[in-house]
């Protein structure tokens, strides 16, 4: 696949699966677009905007929809998304995508206010995803490449769950995605 091919693939995946329920009364696509816009509004550089836009890409492409969490199972969407995007984007984008669930576990362990502000759905998935990190897990997390970016992406992720929001459509991000491709 060419770099044009992966952009087309991303767009068609959003078109095919973006309507899926995110579980916060909004669709997956709405959640990802809101999160990306919030990252941009915070003045983040393009790789952080793209990482935020695509952080839940794995939810769109994994065979197990988000609803598996309701059955107490994990779909490991962070790994699914990171694996598919890794040939096309550098670690500054792929690592935060892969670590955005771990970032939630880190933030819950270090900031009680963060955990209490989480949405009900996110509190439920936290348990399935391993709960708060212990000390050793936190130390290991901070040493991982991309963990600082993952903490940022996570906070934009948590804010992108509004019933409605004025925000750009997916097309707006296409040139930004293209500039962030490795090839």
Using Cβ positions, the residue closest to Fe ion within the complex turns out to be 157
Q: In whole angstroms, what is the distance from residue 84 CA to residue 122 CA?
A: 24
56 binds Fe ion (CB under 5 A): yes
Nearer to Fe ion, 88 or 161 (CB): 161
Q: Is residue 111 classed as helix, strand or coil in its secondary structure?
A: coil
Number of residues that bind Fe ion (CB under 5 A): 2
CB of 7 to Fe ion, least distance (A): 21
Going residue by residue from 83 to 122, which x/- string records binding to Fe ion, judged by CB under 5 A? ----------------------------------------
Binding residue for Fe ion, selected from 157, 161, 177, 180, defined by CB under 5 A: 157
> Which of these ranges, 9-17, 104-112, 131-139, 152-160, lies near Fe ion under the rule CB under 5 A?
152-160
Q: In whole angstroms, what is the distance from residue 50 CA to residue 93 CA?
A: 7
Q: In whole angstroms, what is the distance from residue 87 CA to residue 78 CA?
A: 15
Q: Phi/psi zone of residue 64: left (φ > 0), alpha (ψ -120 to 50 degrees), beta?
A: beta
30 binds Fe ion (CB under 5 A): no
Q: In whole angstroms, what is the distance from residue 36 CA to residue 178 CA?
A: 15
Return the ∠ at Cα 152 (arms to 64 and 113), rounded to 5°: 90
CB of 157 to Fe ion, least distance (A): 4
Count other C-beta atoms under 10 Å from residue 9's C-beta.
14
Nearer to Fe ion, 56 or 102 (CB): 56
Structure tokens at 128: 């399935």
> Which of these ranges, 1-9, 50-58, 104-112, 138-146, lies near Fe ion under the rule CB under 5 A?
50-58
* Site of interaction with Fe ion (CB under 5 A): 56, 157
């Amino acid at each position: 696949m060419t770099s044009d091919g992966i952009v087309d693939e991303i767009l068609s995946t959003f078109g095919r699966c973006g309507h899926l329920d995110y579980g916060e009364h909004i669709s997956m696509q709405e959640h990802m677009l809101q999160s990306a816009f919030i990252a941009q509004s915070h003045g983040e550089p393009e790789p952080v905007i793209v990482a935020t836009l695509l952080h839940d890409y794995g939810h769109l492409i994994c065979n197990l929809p988000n609803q598996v969490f309701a059955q107490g199972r994990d779909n490991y969407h962070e790994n699914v998304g990171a694996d598919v995007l890794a040939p096309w984007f550098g670690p500054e984008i792929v690592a935060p995508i892969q670590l955005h669930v771990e970032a939630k576990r880190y933030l819950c362990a270090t900031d009680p206010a963060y955990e209490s502000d989480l949405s009900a759905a996110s509190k439920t998935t936290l348990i399935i995803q391993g709960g708060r990190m212990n000390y050793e897990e936190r130390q290991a997390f901070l040493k991982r490449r991309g963990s600082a970016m993952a903490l940022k992406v996570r906070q934009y992720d948590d804010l992108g769950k509004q019933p409605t929001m004025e925000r750009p459509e997916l097309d707006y991000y296409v040139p930004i995605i293209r500039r962030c491709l490795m090839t």
